[in-house]
Chain A
Amino acid sequence: MFETAVFCVFGAILLFAGLRVITARNPVHAALFLVLAFFTASAIWMLLRAEFLAIALIVVYVGAVMVLFLFVVMMLDINVERLRAGFWKNLPLAVAVGGILVAEMTAILAGRYFGAMPSTEPAGYSNTRALGGILYTQYAYPFEIAAVVLLVAIIAAIALTLRQRKDSRRQDPGEQVRVRKSDRLRIVPMKAESHDPSRAADNAPEGANK
């Protein structure tokens, strides 16, 4: 009973946040509502006792992806009028895509909800351990392949942006660290200067004795 009530509250917040993501005029607000949506989704997963997935969602999406997303959105100077120009033209397509999404999700979720619910776990059951057990034994090869694909994508992304401009002036920290005193400082042997007070007055800058 209590869990159902909590689920309803979270579900309402999630729907509200999701709606605000697409209706908010300010893109920064939209991004922050997306953060709220992720957070609420993670709370609902927590309610289903999938704590590893719930926390992973927060660590990955809320903690890293959305921060960088906000980082970019905040720096944009977005003209709201121009963004809304094609709204009515694109609406039919958007509604069609949204409708298909809803139908697909209903098909998947309804099947699980009306079927048998998973029984309660035995004592000492660790979600993380169970997930790791399946991921690294039964699905070890697909998992490794996914990892390699991601690695290739990372390297490709870096390689695409890595172009050396000839006219750029940049510092090489390694070189800076390797600098020794002898590279920068030259000790010149000089004779000691005399400490005659009458001559020291001559050397004083103008206006000092006024």
Chain B
Amino acid sequence: MTDWLLSAAQGTFGQVWGPVVYQTVLNLVLIVAIIVPLMLGVAYLTLWERKLIGWMQIRIGPNRVGPGGLLQPVADGLKLFLKEIILPAKANKGLYVLAPVMALMPALAAWAVIPFAPDVVLADVNAGLLYLLALTSLGVYGVIIAGWASNSKYAFLGAMRSAAQMVSYELAMGFALVVVLMVSGSLNLSDIVEGQGKGRFAAMGWTLLSWNWLPLLPMLVVYFISGVAETNRAPFDVVEGESEIVAGHMIEYSGMSFALFFLAEYMNMWLIAALTVLMFFGGWQAPVAVAPFTWLPPIGWLLIKMFFVVSLFLWIRATFPRYRYDQIMRLGWKIFIPVTLVWIVVVGVWMQTPWSIW
């Protein structure tokens, strides 16, 4: 099939340009194949968030649009599409328009290196983990440019808060990933997942116990909580802080430009969920290597685990009150970073002893 397409492209565009056109079209198709389910995932995550938090608070949640409220995201999207995009007076026009794009771009580009199943990955690069670290560190630009360009003090306060918060938690997150990198000995995400399927327990069929979450439990906790802070979700959502600075960086945005920030936030939630699963919960591997568990295809396991982690985000939002800002900073700098630094040494020493399990 692919050979036939390649030769067809060579026949149409010539020997030189044929493979180029073929590769470009193939990559575009693959990108669409990732983006479309991702967009649907984002749309229905908003519904699932409202439903789940509704149930947790003994309410029903949205149930008017479509059967059981299933068309609610479509209605929300339509409403946002039809709204006017307002440009505030004296806003910096170019940057004001650029900011939502800057927020969305890294959230989308990061999916290029996520492996969904063995060999199912858009770009199987060696430095995949580094690439992810670089892209997640770019997300903060959308927020601070939005805050500055909209010429509003609330937006600006939100931008200031987020710049400090996201830079602080990036460090803890990066160090937690360094520990994962140490035990897997690779920056390639597929290799990291494959590495978790080996070990004493995996040989006995209990793959579940060979995953990184058990030996690296403190790192999992640090990584996940930093992930919540990095995506500016409750209880770390002082960046938006409805009760203090109305909605932070996106207060001046309306219609689709507002929706882009929203999309970026939910896409980042899926991304952190995917990364948590890949780094600590064995990616696409089935928890137990016996019959009923192995029937599900690898991508099914990945999606189930991601869904679980994303629901954890919502559960946390429904449970905890918002942190005070100085407490957020204290948690990031005085607790998470020392914990990760100590654990790097602990794992480093552990790996040199005869009891090393890696």
Q: Which residues of A contact B (CB under 8 A)?
A: 28, 32, 35, 51-52, 55-56, 58-59, 62-64, 67-68, 70-71, 74-75, 126-128, 171, 173
Contacts and interface: CB of A to CB of B under 8 A. Distances in A.
A58 B170 CA distance: 13
A70 B134 contact: no
Contact of B159 (A74, A126, A173): A74
Given A32-B95, A62-B137, A74-B156, A67 B163 contact: yes
B119 interface: no
Nearest to B330: A173
A135 B118 CA distance: 33
B108 to A, nearest CB: 16
A58 B127 contact: no
A69 B214 CA distance: 39
User: Which of B131, B134, B170, B187 has its CB near the most chain A CB atoms (within 10 A)?
Assistant: B134
B294 interface: no
Contacts of A126: 126, 187
Interface in B122-170: 125-127, 130-131, 133-134, 137-138, 140-141, 144-145, 148, 156, 159-160, 163-164, 166-167, 170
Q: Is the interface of B mostly helix, strand, loop or mixed?
A: helix
A52 B327 contact: no
Contacts of B327: 173
A70 to B, nearest CB: 6
Contacts of A74: 144, 148, 156, 159-160
B133 A55 contact: yes
Given A32-B95, A173-B326, A67 B127 contact: no
Contacts of B167: 63-64, 67-68
Given A52-B127, A128-B126, A63 B330 contact: no
B270 to A, nearest CB: 21
Contact of B134 (A32, A35, A55, A68): A55
Nearest to A57: B134
Contacts of B174: 59
Nearest to A126: B126
B170 A128 contact: no
Contacts of B145: 32
A120 B125 CA distance: 17
User: Which of B141, B164, B166 has its CB near the most chain A CB atoms (within 10 A)?
Assistant: B141
Given A32-B145, A127-B126, A58 B164 contact: no
10 contacts: A58-B137, A59-B137, A62-B138, A67-B167, A71-B160, A71-B164, A74-B160, A128-B127, A128-B187, A171-B326
Nearest to A171: B326
Given A70-B144, A173-B327, A128 B159 contact: no
Nearest to A125: B126
Contacts of B144: 67, 70-71, 74
A58 B174 CA distance: 14
